[in-house]
Amino acid sequence: MATCTVKNWEGGDLAPVELDLPVAKESSAEHILWLAVKRQLHNSRQGTSSTLTKSEVRGGGKKPWKQKGTGRARAGSSRSPLWRGGGVIFGPKPREFDIKMNRKERRLALRTALQSRTDDLVVVEEFESHLTTPKTKEFVQALQRWGVDVEQKILLILDQKQENTYRSARNVARVRVITANNLNVFDLLHADRIVMTTTALDVVKATYQDDTKG
């Protein structure tokens, strides 16, 4: 169980909240996180790279020169992989990189990743009302009041997409904004600091607290 201090817009401390998610055993936690990250990175690959083989390259139907008597090496086509403009040997072709992982394992990996980052987690009170218009400067100042270095990689987790918050944060190079429904292992582990609103934390608890939902 971890206790997280909740901060308001001005940076003051509010009543703490607890985060206690069922996690993987210590002996298997590293492996299941590795599987989850591997799956996410593989499944994000498009797999659309394609090259032309000798039979697919245009041209090359005519034999370049006669078989014997020229003193040159035998050649049957100008589209041989050995020739410039020829086909590619064993080049990439469209393929699927998807890796399957059981739903219970995926949820367990996500809970484990989030629970392991509680030391780098900053829970803040809902602040959309303070950004009446998109203001990057005000957002950066708020991060500094919360004790978050804007030079670090920051993951901001909201309960739902908030236009003013999103437009205020998108100009900060190292800030990534996602919603609680799009929580994923890679982003949780890749960020240096995680900022989560109280409403987003409620969504996470409602979704992942009960392990029987598996």
| 110: CATH | 3.40.1370.10
User: Which amino acid, 2?
Assistant: A
Q: Could you give the CA distance from residue 38 to residue 61 in angstroms, rounded to a whole number?
A: 45
Mean pLDDT score, 183-208: 94
Which range (13-17, 37-41, 113-117, 198-202) has the least confidence? 13-17
Whole domain around residue 204: which residue ranges? Answer: 2-45+99-213
How many degrees, rounded to 5, is the angle at CA 111 between CA 109 and CA 117?
A: 105
Do 156 and 122 contact (CB within 8 A), yes or no? no
Same domain as 24, residue 130 = yes
Report pLDDT for 155.
97
Element (H, E) at 28: helix 26-43
Same domain as 64, residue 140 = no
Report pLDDT for 212.
52
Report pLDDT for 1.
73
Whether pLDDT at 214 is above 60:
no
Q: Could you give the CA distance from residue 55 to residue 174 in angstroms, rounded to a whole number?
A: 47
Mean pLDDT score, 146-175: 93
Same domain as 165, residue 134 = yes
Same domain as 207, residue 189 = yes
Same domain as 62, residue 136 = no
Same domain as 113, residue 51 = no
